[in-house]
Amino acid sequence: MMTFRLMLAAGLALALAGCSTTNTGGSSAISAAPSAVETRWVGQSAGAFFAKFGPPVNDEASGSSTVYTWRGGFKNRSVPATYDKGEDGKRGKLVKPARTEYLRCEVRVTVSEDYTIRSIKPVFDKRLDNGKTWCEEFLAGN
């Protein structure tokens, strides 16, 4: 009886492993529009990318492609304090204190055999106050 239960559990585990989920709720990373970085660099020469932004820190073979890890865009940015609106247009209570943010960008660049960028995906990025990310501002040049 114990063997039957074990076989049943293993069969159930295999059946569940073959299941997939679908996202019908609107936004999905897979169906999302390409980012400004992808629009700017996919289809371009990886040599032009690395000449402009510096060499990669790592590379690994992935079939007929090579995946490079690139880091850069290092910058300290001062963010001013935020205050509530007070009476008669005066400055009110402190909401967020002033701070310094350290910005950087890290992406994985997939390059084909002919050294053309096939994909460029952020690994580490930060969303800025203007709605863009730091990688979009730094790498897309907009």
Record the pTM: 0.66
* pLDDT tens digits for range 84-118: 988 887 888 999 999 999 999 999 999 999 999 99
Position 133 in a domain: yes
Number of structural domains in the chain: 1
19 Cβ contact list (under 8 Å, min separation 6)? none
- Local confidence band at 33 (pLDDT 50, 70, 90 cut-offs): confident
Judged against a pLDDT cut of 70, whether residue 5 lies above it is answered with no
pLDDT at 26: 37
Instruction: Find the DSSP H helices in 54-124.
Output: none
Position 43 in a domain: yes
Residue pair 80/69 in contact by the 8 Å Cβ criterion: no
- Local confidence band at 121 (pLDDT 50, 70, 90 cut-offs): very high
| Enclosing domain of residue 132 | 34-140
